[in-house]
């Protein structure tokens, strides 16, 4: 990262190659399956743009996932308006769907269940399970105490388990 800070193209290319899959997975698990690649690319562009702000005392992944999280939140804000349309559409015209939603709830897919978690629980669980980050690093990324991270992970797992237990 020090070389990236100095503007090295080769070093940046190595970072992109090393972290593209984890970032894609992060965005996909957060629910951006249709545009996870765009968000990953956006994160790398932010990384380049803000490379001078990286302090060597912090872990690189903390810096990277902080940027990824901002990218995700920004994308959520952009989509809110159209999510409202989508919910409205489902409520207004339930007979017009292809049965996708009822099928989803009958056969609860793990990704669908993940997407039903609140954003706070989901991001904490994804960082812990899918990205394999240590709790203290997650605490630094989310700016919350270590105990909060653990309780969010516990609550996320308990909620998911409840969804499966209640499944007919």
Partner 1 sequence: MMNSPDPSHPDPLQDPQFASLVERLKAQEEPRPSVDFTVRTMAARYRPRSLRTWGLPAIAAGLALLLGAGRWIFHPGPLQLQAGASSPVAILMAAQGADGGWSADVRQSPSRYDVSLTALALLALMQQDAATDPGPEAAAIRAGLAHLLRQQRPDGRFGADFSGSAFTHYLATMCMISALDRVAADPDWAAAAARARPHLPPTSQMTRLNANLARPELFPERWADAGGPVAHAALAMLKR
Binding site for partner 1 (CB under 8 A): 9, 12-13, 16-17, 20-21, 24-25, 28-29, 33-38, 40-41, 44-45, 48-49, 75, 78-79, 81-83, 85-86, 88-90, 92-93, 95-98, 100-101, 110-111, 114, 125, 128-130, 132-136, 146-147, 150-151, 153-154, 157-158, 160-161, 164
Question: To the nearest whole angstrom, how small is the minimum distance from the Cβ of residue 67 to partner 1?
Answer: 13
Question: To the nearest whole angstrom, how small is the minimum distance from the Cβ of residue 2 to partner 1?
Answer: 18
Q: Whose Cβ is closer to partner 1: residue 2's or residue 162's?
A: 162
Question: To the nearest whole angstrom, how small is the minimum distance from the Cβ of residue 4 to partner 1?
Answer: 11
Question: To the nearest whole angstrom, how small is the minimum distance from the Cβ of residue 133 to partner 1?
Answer: 7
Q: Name 115's Cβ contacts closer than 8 Å, sequence gap at least 6.
A: 31, 122
Q: Whose Cβ is closer to partner 1: residue 55's or residue 78's?
A: 78
CA atoms of 44 and 50, how far apart (whole Å)? 10
Q: Of the candidates 60, 77, 67, which has an alpha carbon nearest to the alpha carbon of residue 15?
A: 60
Q: Whose Cβ is closer to partner 1: residue 46's or residue 69's?
A: 46
Q: Whose Cβ is closer to partner 1: residue 69's or residue 113's?
A: 113
CA distances from 85 to 28, 77, 89 (A): 22, 14, 6
Q: Of the candidates 71, 146, 157, which has an alpha carbon nearest to the alpha carbon of residue 121?
A: 157
Exposed/middle/buried for residue 10 (C-beta within 10 Å: 0-12, 13-18, 19+): exposed
Question: To the nearest whole angstrom, how small is the minimum distance from the Cβ of residue 64 to partner 1?
Answer: 13
Render 19-68 in DSSP notation, one character per residue.
HHHHHHHHHHHHT-TTTHHHHHHHHHHHHHHTGGG--TTS-HHHHHHHHH
Q: Whose Cβ is closer to partner 1: residue 2's or residue 86's?
A: 86
């Amino acid at each position: 990262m020090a070389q990236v800070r100095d503007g090295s193209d080769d070093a940046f290319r190595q970072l992109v190659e090393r972290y593209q899959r984890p970032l894609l997975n992060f965005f996909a698990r957060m629910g951006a399956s249709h545009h996870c690649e765009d968000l990953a690319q956006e994160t790398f562009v932010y990384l380049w743009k803000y490379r001078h702000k990286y302090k060597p005392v912090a872990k690189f992944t903390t810096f990277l996932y902080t940027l990824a999280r901002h990218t995700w939140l920004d994308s959520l804000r952009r989509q809110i308006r159209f999510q409202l349309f989508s919910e409205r559409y489902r409520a207004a015209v339930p007979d017009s769907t292809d049965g996708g939603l009822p099928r989803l709830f009958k056969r609860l897919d793990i990704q669908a269940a993940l997407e039903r978690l609140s954003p706070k629980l989901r991001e904490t669980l994804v960082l812990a399970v899918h990205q394999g980050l240590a709790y203290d690093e997650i605490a630094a990324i989310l700016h919350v105490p270590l105990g909060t991270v653990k309780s969010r992970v516990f609550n996320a797992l308990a909620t998911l388990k409840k969804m499966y237990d209640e499944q007919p």
